[in-house]
Structure 1
């Protein structure tokens, strides 16, 4: 497979773009806080750095990865959305995180919908799932709003994860 260039996607309110070192402080702050509880956190700085690098490294290796989410009007980075793959993910996995002060504004829905469309369209992915902690009710609700359905007996990275399947 030829490496995929990292796309830049636009929605009505958002710009989804490649991450830069300027994104590290806010990302690290989130991943090292209690807000990362549904992402196997809080993480140490070393773990957060590994995740940050993983999100970027997937692009040349696997043709997918994470994009930062910017509010087009303000320029503020509000979070991240990504399609993960590789040895830790049985299928392509759509995930999102929104920094606490930007939650509840529909950014995750808008960004996830755009990247999912890119994955099914531009990348011609056969399947996309979302792995969600059972206690993360906002993400479960978002997956359902996106039209994903909870699978009862899926292939998953661990027994503590719910799998929501997205439809083309």
Structure 2
């Protein structure tokens, strides 16, 4: 069963069928540049199904991020370890219309606490393209530090940001509860 996690402003939950349209709109846009690039509707469907299927195959996966105030899908965040990754990752996507509100850090902090606390992870990374300055800032605000590079198939060598333990992360993000 996929847990439902909350922060002050967000709900992290499993993917639902109603999430496809906003996800497909994001996936078709230039905003998807740093997460595999723009894709058509069938490819967006497969991407969303992969996210949902991770819960069955791994016992965990990324969450849909719902804005409490509106009930709208604001992005995708959470633990992620697809085939070809060197280690477990915390990933985040915040759709353009929800950016600039601190949602990526708030949701990622809660997802990290889940990964460390509930899943028993002892480390987590985020792979972030050097040109993705907003995501680098989120990782740094979470306390992550650059830790070399690793190969993330099929994307090739990518910079790695290693995250701090959960108690440090939660202390940095008010409104985030375990």
- Output the CA distance in 2 between the equivalents of 1:124 and 1:64: 12
Q: RMSD across aligned C-alpha pairs, in angstroms? A: 1.3
Asked if structure 2 preserves the Cα contact closer than 8 Å seen for 1:64 and 1:85, the reply is no
Match 1:155 to one of 150, 156, 161: 150
* Structure 1 residue 160 displacement after superposition: 4.4
Does the 8 Å CA contact 2:151/2:157 hold for their aligned counterparts?
no
Q: Which of 37, 56, 62 pairs up with 1:41?
A: 37
Aligned pair 1:29/2:34, yes or no?
no
Correspondent of 1:146 among 142, 145, 153: 142
1-side partners of 2:88 and 2:59: how far apart? 11
8 A Cα contact 1:68 1:81, kept in partner: yes
SS at the partner of 2:39?
coil
In the TM superposition, 1:1-168 aligns within 5 A as: 5-152=1-148, 154-157=149-152, 158-168=155-165
Change (3 A) 1:156 1:70: same
Alignment size in residue pairs: 163
Residue 71 of structure 1: how far off its partner (Å): 1.5
The structure-2 alpha-carbon separation of the partners of 1:31 and 1:38, relative to structure 1 and needing over 3 Å to count, comes to same
Encode CA deviations 1:55-100: one digit per residue, 9 max, x unaligned: 0101011022111111212222211112111322211111111111
The answer to whether the 8 A contact 2:150-2:157 is kept is: no
How far does the alpha carbon of each residue in 1:94-115 deviate from its partner, in whole angstroms, 9 at most, with x for none? 1111111110001111000001
TM-score by length of 1: 0.92
Where structure 2 has 5 or more consecutive residues not aligned to the other structure, the ranges are 166-178
Deviations 1:14-51 (A, max 9, x none): 11111111000010110111010111211222221111
Q: Determine helix, strand or coil for the equivalent of 2:150.
A: coil
Indicate the SS of the match to 1:69: strand
After superposing on structure 2, the runs of 4+ consecutive aligned residues of structure 1 that deviate more than 4 Å are: none
